[in-house]
């Protein structure tokens, strides 16, 4: 049975994941030379921690894993409430400190819990028919599964992570066979609310938007990070300045260079070739995951895979977009590349679940 699973598994997903991780390790080794490679070493330790969870996520039938979804979701919501009472780090109460050198971010594992519980609940709901999702009160109940952790994460505050939950939810709901009238209604509601919200934003929020559009107006304040990021990427040109050689990276102008702006450091030291390779690998990875969602043996596998694709797509677009100045800075890490233990663990579990679904799929079956 295990040989059959390994044969059916989408190895392209694993290869893309490991390639991104290796590039990230090289970048971390270079960017942490002035701190005795502390974060690089921690990343390796978190990778070691991630391996057993990844293996379990691959080989335990996801039907069995889903039986634990309600309990897992409940635990994660409890942790998201509890973390609000911790000491803020960088202005946000998002982490539990473990010892002197490790921290844990419950909103990361909450992504998996929310996706699994939504898939579990949708499967129960649609046991009576796939169109059950189009009954408004039932659709609202499914949406509330995501709304609760999103609300708690916004309270931390961590807007970037909260938006990643929104992406996963939208991807799952769209795949569930929702009636187009809800999609059109949502688009219309957003179109109406955006100008209303914008005109009622506080002065400091409007100022941040203005600085995002024109960072040169505040080069030493709110516009500093994006200007340094653009300088770093531009300085790298085609082949980069070389490892340990980036001016913005090594002299401390990029901050934080191991997490939010790791792509900028890669652009400066490894150049356009490696930076473009990262984008291409992400596109291949996300495309493969979407294909796995289409060819899953059942709807529940499709919901899990497409939710994970939504998470990865948002993180890739937002992180790279903010480093080149086309999207606002929200503090979103680049999956498998940026430093971050909770993020790395969560992402490897997600990939494990995707491989689990791919190994058990029926290639001739597509979602309607």
CB atoms within 10 A of CB 157: 14
Q: List the chain pLDDT tens, one digit each, 368 residues.
A: 567 777 889 999 999 999 999 999 999 999 999 888 999 999 999 999 999 999 999 999 999 999 999 999 999 999 999 999 998 877 788 888 877 667 889 999 999 999 999 999 999 998 888 788 888 889 999 999 999 999 999 999 888 899 999 999 999 999 988 888 888 888 888 888 878 877 776 675 666 677 777 887 777 777 888 899 999 999 999 999 999 999 999 998 988 899 999 999 999 999 999 999 999 999 999 999 999 999 999 999 999 999 999 999 999 999 999 999 888 888 899 999 999 999 999 999 999 999 999 998 864 343 33
Please give the mean pLDDT across all residues of the chain: 90
**What pLDDT was estimated at residue 201?**
66
326: buried, middle or exposed (CB in 10 Å: 19+, 13-18, 0-12)? exposed
CB atoms within 10 A of CB 173: 23
Rounded to two decimals, the pTM is 0.92
pLDDT in tens, 9-42: 999 999 999 999 999 999 999 999 988 899 999 9
**What pLDDT was estimated at residue 364?**
39
C-alpha span between 282 and 97 (Å, rounded)? 31
C-alpha span between 31 and 346 (Å, rounded)? 23
C-alpha span between 91 and 233 (Å, rounded)? 27
Residues 6+ apart with CB under 8 A from 12: 284, 288
């Amino acid at each position: 049975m295990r040989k059959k699973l390994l044969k059916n598994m989408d190895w392209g997903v694993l290869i893309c994941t490991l390639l991104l991780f290796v590039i990230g390790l090289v970048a971390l080794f270079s960017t942490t030379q002035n701190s005795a490679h502390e974060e690089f070493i921690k990343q390796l330790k978190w990778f070691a921690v991630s391996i057993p969870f990844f293996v379990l996520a691959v080989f335990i039938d996801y039907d069995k894993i889903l039986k634990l979804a309600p309990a897992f979701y409940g635990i994660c919501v409890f942790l998201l409430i509890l973390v609000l009472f911790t000491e803020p780090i960088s202005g946000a109460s998002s982490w539990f400190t473990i010892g002197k050198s490790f921290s844990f971010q419950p909103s990361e594992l909450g992504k998996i819990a929310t996706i699994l519980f939504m898939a579990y609940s949708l499967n129960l709901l649609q046991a009576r028919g796939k169109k059950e999702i189009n009954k408004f009160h039932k659709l609202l109940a499914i949406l509330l599964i995501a709304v609760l952790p999103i609300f708690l994460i916004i309270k931390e505050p961590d807007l970037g992570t909260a938006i990643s939950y929104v992406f996963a939810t939208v991807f799952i709901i769209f795949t569930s066979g929702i009636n187009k009238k809800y999609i059109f209604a949502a688009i219309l509601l957003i179109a109406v609310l955006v100008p209303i919200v914008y005109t009622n934003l506080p002065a400091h929020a409007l100022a941040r938007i203005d600085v995002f559009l024109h960072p040169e107006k505040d080069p030493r304040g709110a516009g500093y990070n994006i200007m340094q990021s653009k300088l770093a990427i531009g300085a790298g040109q085609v082949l980069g300045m070389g490892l340990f050689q980036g001016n913005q990276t090594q002299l401390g102008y990029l901050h934080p260079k191991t997490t939010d702006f790791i792509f900028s450091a890669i652009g400066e030291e490894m150049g356009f070739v490696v930076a473009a390779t990262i984008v291409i690998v992400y596109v291949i990875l996300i495309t493969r995951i979407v294909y796995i969602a289409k060819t899953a043996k059942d709807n529940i596998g499709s919901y899990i895979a497409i939710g994970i694709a939504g998470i990865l797509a948002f993180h890739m677009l937002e992180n790279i977009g903010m480093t080149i100045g086309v999207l606002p800075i929200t503090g979103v890490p680049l999956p498998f590349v940026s430093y971050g233990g909770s993020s790395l663990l969560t992402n490897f579990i997600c990939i494990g679940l995707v491989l689990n679904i791919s190994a058990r799929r029926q290639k001739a079956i597509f979602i309607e």
